[in-house]
Chains A and B, each alone.
Chain A
Amino acid sequence: MIKIVKRDQPSKAIFFFTPVLAIFLTLIAGGIIFYILGFKPFEALKFFFIVPIADKYGFSELLLKATPLCLIAIGLSFCFKSNNWNIGAEGQLTFGAIVSGGVALLFYDQEGFYILPIVILAGAIGGMIYASIPAILKTYFNTNEILVSLMLVYVSKLILDYLVVGPWSNPEGFNFPETRQFSDSARLPLLFEGLRIHAGIFLALAAVVISWFVFYKTYLGFQMKVSGFSLKTAKYAGYKGKKMIILVFLISGACAGLAGVGEITGPIGQLHREVSPDYGFTAIIVAFLGRLHPVGIIFASLVVAITYLGAETAQIFMQIPKYTGQVFQGMILFFLLASDYLLFFKFKFIDSKK
């Protein structure tokens, strides 16, 4: 007989094992879905997960997609670790893209080494401004940050829409909903000739290192952690709990804003309606799959990035809609939450003869 018993304290091993289990279960479930749709499961999974990254170009694309996911997820980990449920990273990304895009457009006919840093900074500030709205409303007016941050996503997308159709649209663009191309000085440099992977990856890696350092080594990180668990305790210890909340939102917004900068000054090179295929939402899955740990987030962002690529390959070669990618992302989150049950409970085999 199998009995389910509560664990005393979740072990480190199981903590990192359950994400792997979740990915494994996702593959099985994905195979079953492909089978029902009339494909050979193994072949389909191969098209989805292996073919897209089998060559140099594919690998570069993988890193290209993983970069914003990783960057945003790192920012979100600050919020989530301190129990602030910022789910509006997509909006912060969009607003960061708007601000930095606006700055880049100011310089559209200029060259100069100083342009890119200004554009990047503008993106981070844009994200921070946008994230400060739910943060301030939460700390001073007791609003729910989940609702506010989510609704602001749609606001930012509409602002972007208005700008690229109206005031910022390219005068020589035949009324296409897009801005001018940015000047080369406002573009993140490509790392390799012929591949789209760009210098934005270093921003992501820097964010990983910095967040690890802040969280595990500094007093500031400790205060954030305490404030997240209990504002009452933070107050008792003499920390400025409200400031901590605003700070984690700002960090998170800055990261999302930078991800937005990376997109528009990297592969896109201008502003148009869709600067992000929902990276800001998908990064929530990445953050949890990576256990809110910087290193875990790197791996998680790579895994989830594959679902974007796989969806495209699957659409081209198997005529499956690319939204299958979202199905896989959803399944990963679903199985992760389910297998987290193992963190707190374990199966025990009991001799049934007794």
Chain B
Amino acid sequence: MNTNLKISNVTKIYPGCVANDNVSLELNSGKIYALLGENGAGKSTLVKILSGVVIPDEGKIYLNKNILKLNSPSDAKKNDIGMVFQHFNLFETLSVFENLIIDSDEQRENLKEKIDTIMKKYNFSVDLDVPVLNLSAGQKQKVEIIRCLIRSPKVLIMDEPTSVLTEQETSELFLSLKKFSEEGILIIYITHKLKEVMQLCDEVAVMRRGKLVSVSQINNENIESLANKMVGQDLKTIKKKKENTSSEQLIKITNLNFTSEDPFETNLVDINFSLNRGECLGIAGISGNGQSELFQVLSGEIISNKNSIEFNKNFIGDLNPQERREYLMAFSPEDRLEQAAIPQMAIFENVALNNFKSSNFFNNGLINKSKIKEHSKKIISEFNVNTDNIDLKSQFLSGGNLQKLIIGRELITSPDLLICFNPTWGLDVGAINYIHETLIKINEQNKSIILISTDTDELLKLSDKISVIHRGKLSKIMNAEDVTSEKLGILMGGGN
């Protein structure tokens, strides 16, 4: 049976931005559609409209020529539209089976049978009786997918599904998606990873600034053409210049351990590595394998044994972040809005979070506002933050601009070492490019970087050395040239 989904002249206006500007698109089952666009391009709004979360200001949705009234997520479910969100909506402490039946009004026995059939058919292996918190990200995603499949959907929408998966899990997911498609489910795949679009999809719709800019067959496109459509300008490709890096050691970590009291945190076991000036050490891994703990131990948010961290010939393991900054370390945490910056405070106040004795932001316990503001203006102009109002609350900056501000704040003091954690997470291509260029530049200035990231492409692009963290243990350090993404994937999954 064929499914035809027609989006007709959909417009959604938010204050200050047109999220969807007269979008029309017709989709047919049997194909996998990619919906591609930068952050803020309007793809998630469009998807939220399809799943009933957002009601459009204008325009209509037709499924098989019937007009759909999508006023709530349950309307979407009733009309056989299934959606797997980027962030899982699962109850961690309930079992897989309980999660699957929780929003269904069918009989338990019937459901059990149904679930078994689905699992057999698509070769899913998930233990139904374990609590969800024990599952890997890939398995959690399978649970979400099964939850959609129980309702035998006509349309399945996947929102950036691979951001938390390993390479192996990703290829498994792709196989399943292709199978669904063959069975007549219309698949809409949202992403900004171009490689995946090329690998998986049949047609690609590109959005930019709320408008649908192109719909085309994948055969007529390549990665560069798609990137250009997405950004709307030709992108420079950046490559790291391989200079002869110095052999002067900057930081050395010896037998660093961290045992957490919190069962949801990961313990770090015997971390050992060293890094020279001008080098970038990439640390790969699937999120939740100890990256956050490693970052905190390196930044000093978690204090460890004094001798476990040697930086520039000083032992600094027992110092807090502010004290470590004095030794010329800088930190860019993963969570921009809850840790690296405070959205409710003005830009210049956020700049004052990185405070040195020599920066003179605070003299004798008093705030030196003019000094902070002067410094903030410098950061904004040097790091291309797109605003001229440093009194603006930082919540009004886009993700990319906020990240530029944070990186700028950390780098303007020219530290010897920058430790960053997923610095381009959730940013659009333009901002990612800028951040990458900046990181390469500071490497060239003989400064070092520790880059903890879940984005393998980013790591391969920027690192000189790469290690993989798995369950709190670091793999041996490899030269980046000898590493492929397949190899990383195996290590990330715990293989050898």
**B300: interface (CB < 8 Å):** yes
Which one of B15, B324, B349, B396 contacts A222 once the chains associate, using CB atoms below 8 Å?
A: B349
Tell me if A11 counts as interface (CB < 8 A to partner B): no
**Do residues A236 and B331 form an inter-chain contact, with CB atoms below 8 A?**
yes
Nearest to A235 among chain B residues (CB) is B301
Residues of B within 8 A of A229 (CB): 342, 344-345
- For the complex, is B1 an interface residue (Cβ under 8 Å from A)? no
A5 CB contacts on chain B under 8 angstroms: 15
Residue B400, interface by CB 8 Å: no
Question: Which residues of chain A are near B324, meaning CB under 8 Å?
Answer: 238
Structural contact, B396 and A8, CB atoms closer than 8 A = yes
- The segment from B38-46, B197-205, B361-369, B424-432 found at the interface with A is B361-369
Whether B16 is near chain A, meaning CB under 8 Å from some CB there, is yes
Which residues from chain A contact B345 at a C-beta distance below 8 Å?
225-226, 229
Cα separation A237 to B342 with both chains bound (whole Å): 11
Produce 1/0 per residue, B313-351, CB < 8 A to A. 000000011111100000101010011111011000100
Question: Which of A44-52, A196-204, A212-220 sits within the interface?
Answer: A212-220
- On whether A6 and B15 interact (CB within 8 A), knowing A222-B367, A230-B342, A236-B331, the answer reads yes
User: Counting CB contacts under 8 A, is B352 at the interface?
Assistant: yes
Known pairs A9-B393, A222-B349, A226-B353; A238 contacts B340 (CB<8 A): no
Given contact pairs A5-B15, A225-B345, A218 touches B338 in the complex (Cβ within 8 A): no
A218 to B325, CA, bound (A): 21
Contact B340 A236 (CB under 8 A): yes
**A230→B340 CA distance, assembly (Å):** 10
Please report the C-alpha to C-alpha distance between residue A147 and residue B279 in the assembled complex, in whole angstroms: 52
State the total of A-B contacts with C-beta under 8 angstroms.
68
- What residues on A are CB-neighbors of B333 within 8 Å? 236
> Would A233 and B342 be within 8 Å (CB), given that A6-B15, A8-B396, A226-B353 are in contact?
yes
- Contacts known (A219-B366, A236-B331); A8 close to B16, Cβ less than 8 A: yes
> Are B341 and A222 in contact (CB-based, < 8 A)?
no
| Residues of chain B within 8 A of A239, CB atoms compared | 322
Nearest B residue to A221 via CB reads B367
Query: A219 CB to closest chain B CB, in angstroms?
Result: 4
Nearest chain A CB to B102's CB is how many angstroms away? Answer: 28
A residues 216-255 near B (Cβ < 8 Å) are: 216-222, 225-226, 229-230, 232-233, 235-239
B354 at the interface (CB under 8 A from A): yes
Interface size class of chain A, counting residues whose CB lies under 8 Å from the partner chain = 20 to 34
CB distance from B86 to the nearest CB of A (A): 22
Contact with A along B390-424 (1 / 0, CB 8 A): 00110010000000000000000000000000000
Q: Which of B237-292 contact A (CB under 8 A)?
A: none
Contact (Cβ within 8 A) B339 A233: yes
The interface bits of chain A over 1-37 (1 if a CB of B lies within 8 angstroms of the residue's CB, else 0) are 0000111110000000000000000000000000000
- Nearest B residue to A214 via CB reads B365
The answer to whether A238 and B339 touch across the interface, beta carbons within 8 angstroms, is no
Q: Which residues of A contact B342 (CB under 8 A)?
A: 226, 229-230, 233
For the complex formed, measure the closest distance between the CB of B330 and the CB atoms of chain A, giving whole angstroms. 11
Partner of B335 from A216, A232, A237 at Cβ < 8 Å? A232
Residues of A within 8 A of B392 (CB): 9
B355 at the interface (CB under 8 A from A): yes
A219, B367: Cβ atoms closer than 8 Å: yes
CB-based contact A238/B320 at 8 Å: yes
Alpha-carbon separation in the docked complex, A225 to B392 (Å): 17
Residues of B within 8 Å of A236, CB to CB, are: 299, 301, 321, 331, 333, 339-340, 353
Distance between B16 CB and nearest chain A CB, rounded to angstroms? 6
Provide the bound-state CA to CA distance between A239 and B367, in Å. 15
Min CB distance, B53 to chain A, in Å?
17
Chain A 98-115 interface mask (CB, 8 Å, partner B; 1/0): 000000000000000000
CB-based contact B365/A233 at 8 Å: no
Residues from chain A with Cβ under 8 Å of B396 in the complex: 8-9
What 9 pairs between A and B have smallest CB-CB spacing? A238-B322, A219-B362, A238-B321, A232-B339, A237-B353, A229-B342, A238-B320, A6-B15, A235-B301
The chain B residues found within 8 Å of chain A, CB to CB, are 14-16, 299-301, 320-325, 331, 333, 335, 338-342, 344-345, 349, 352-355, 362, 365-367, 392-393, 396
Q: A6-B14, A232-B339 are in contact. List 4 more A-B contacts (CB 8 A).
A: A9-B392, A9-B396, A236-B299, A238-B320
Residues of A within 8 A of B (CB): 5-9, 216-222, 225-226, 229-230, 232-233, 235-239
8 A-B contacts (beta carbon < 8 Å): A218-B365, A219-B362, A220-B365, A221-B367, A225-B345, A229-B345, A233-B339, A236-B353
